Amino acid sequence: MSSPSREQLLETAKLFIEAFNEFTPESVVRYRSPTCKHRLLPASLNSPPQSNAEFAGFIAALNAIMPTFHLRIVDGGEPVVDEVTRKVVLHLKSRSETAIGPYENEYVWILTLSKDGKLVDDILEFADSLYTSDQIPKLKKAAEDAAKK
């Protein structure tokens, strides 16, 4: 089997982001392989890798305080595609209205796609660590408070 084309890899990355933007537990894992892991870096964020079920559960908990979430490629940004290793690198920004106010973050996601290029096998997410470390405790508390109601 030959490596998937650049076009196939970009199409899957596009579908993955579109599904992610639906922001439901089911949609965020729709284009992930069954063994996909989502890893959030840098290590200082103390976030263990998440399976599809764990990540879907995380999104389900967030939905109470963050019902929408939108990822987009940074203006003027162009995905980097390595056809041999089946990797797509995306520079992304997010925006969401939450129970604690607006949430806006910046990321680099490195997606490793399946041999046929149709599913995501691995997600390596580098987040703005200063912003993330400030916002995540606030979001967790808001989610816990919402769960008590």
| pLDDT tens per residue, range 82-137 | 999 999 999 999 999 998 899 999 999 999 999 999 999 999 999 998 898 888 88
Q: Per-residue pLDDT for 2 more than 90?
A: no
The model's pLDDT over 58-88, given as tens digits with 9 standing for 90+, comes to: 999 888 899 999 999 999 989 999 999 999 9
Q: How many CA atoms lie within 13 A of 90 on its CB side?
A: 22
Q: Per-residue pLDDT for 37 more than 80?
A: yes
Confidence at 22, pLDDT banded by 50, 70, 90: very high
Please give the CATH architecture assigned to the domain spanning 6-148.
Answer: Roll (3.10)
Q: Which of 147, 31, 57, 53 is nearest to 99 (CA)?
A: 147
